[in-house]
Amino acid sequence: MEHLYAGLVRWGHLVTGITWIGLLYYFNLVQMAALKDAGADGTAAGITKHVAPRALLWFRWAAVATWILGVGLLCTLGDKGASVIHKTFTLQAPYAGIGIGAWLGTIMLFNVWHFIWPNQKKILGIVPATDEVKAKARRVAMLASRTNLMLSLPMLYFMANGFSHRIG
Amino acid sequence: MKNPLESITGTIISGLILTAVLVVFLNNFLAPVAA
């Protein structure tokens, strides 16, 4: 039963993580450039009204689900339970490797909910904002999203290199 | 100096450098998981 739980949590962490990081890459590699071009020919509304809100919905909640399932996965490792979480986030052996990945993921989740989503709400007109505020929000959201793109590379290295498999 | 996060290329290079720095940090300053 324990193996089934660990397997399901690991699987869920991967599925939600792919959803989150896949959308992060979509925003950075596709949507930002597409919006620039669409703004030039007056077709940006198609993206900002119909695509971006849906993508952001899946993006921010997939981030939450990934983090929660990540904590659930940590609880299945080695010492099990709260002790593992403490050792992971304080980078103690043998959890230091996965701990770095966990910290990077946590910082990225914070960026999503503290910088990206609140500023996207202003950009997309979900909350009222002046043009000046929108321009600032665009800049902050872009830099937060790029920061997460940068952090995703080491985060995935520490997640995908078996650090959570090498613990008894 | 231009902010590397202004471009995708700069962002990816920054991510790769950060990965290398963290791997060195793990291997030299934190106890490796499975040496």
pLDDT tens-digit map of A13-40: 999 999 999 999 999 999 999 999 999 9
pLDDT of B33 strictly over 80: no
Read off the pLDDT band of A168 (50, 70, 90): low
Write out the two tokens for B31.
Answer: 């106890």
ipTM metric: 0.91
Give B15's contacts in chain A (Cβ within 8 Å).
149-154
Give B32's contacts in chain A (Cβ within 8 Å).
93, 96-97
Give A151's contacts in chain B (Cβ within 8 Å).
15, 18
Query: How large a percentage of chain A has pLDDT more than 70?
Result: 98
Check if B14 contacts A (Cβ < 8 Å).
yes
Are residues B22 and A96 in contact, defined by beta-carbon separation less than 8 angstroms?
no
Read off the pLDDT band of B29 (50, 70, 90): confident
Q: Which residues, 6+ apart, have CB-to-CB distance to A153 below 8 Å?
A: B12, B15, B16, B18, B19
